[in-house]
Amino acid sequence: MKIKPLQDRILVERIEEEVKKGGIIIPDTAKEKPQQGKVIAVGSGRVDDKGNRIPMEVKKGDYILFGKYAGNEVRIDDKEYLIMREDDVLGIIEKEK
């Protein structure tokens, strides 16, 4: 199934943070959900009061940071995603070369 977010919304797949060796083992039920994700799809951008379209800063394939309670969880083809507004994105993670 393909999904295209509308306006300034983005579809994000959460990515698990790396687990460090050693320390305490935390059961899955007590773990916090990751606040990092990969952008799967983006909308066309929001429209301002004058009718001009404002382009999105994030693009498909970007890795992002977002707030703990950002977005709405959706299930598509037995996989969980988040749909959120671009305003909910705290930053884009740039990979070192």
Point out which residues pair with 63 in neighbouring strands. Answer: 38, 93
Model confidence at 34: pLDDT above 80: no
Q: Confirm whether 24 is domain-assigned.
A: no
Handedness of CA 43, 45, 46, 52 (dihedral sign): negative
Q: Confirm whether 96 is domain-assigned.
A: no
Q: Confirm whether 22 is domain-assigned.
A: no
Q: Confirm whether 63 is domain-assigned.
A: yes
Q: Confirm whether 45 is domain-assigned.
A: yes
Whole-prediction pTM value? 0.78
Q: Confirm whether 47 is domain-assigned.
A: yes
The CATH number assigned to the domain holding 36 equals: 2.30.33.40
Which residue range(s) make up the domain with 79? Answer: 9-17+31-91
State the virtual CA torsion across 73, 75, 44, 69 in degrees, nearest 10. 10
Model confidence at 1: pLDDT above 90: no
| Dihedral pair phi/psi, residue 47, rounded to 5° | -110, 130
Cβ atoms 36, 93 nearer than 8 A: yes
Reported as a pLDDT band with limits 50, 70 and 90, residue 53 is: very high
Q: Confirm whether 23 is domain-assigned.
A: no
Instruction: Give the mean model confidence (pLDDT) for residues 31-48.
Output: 86
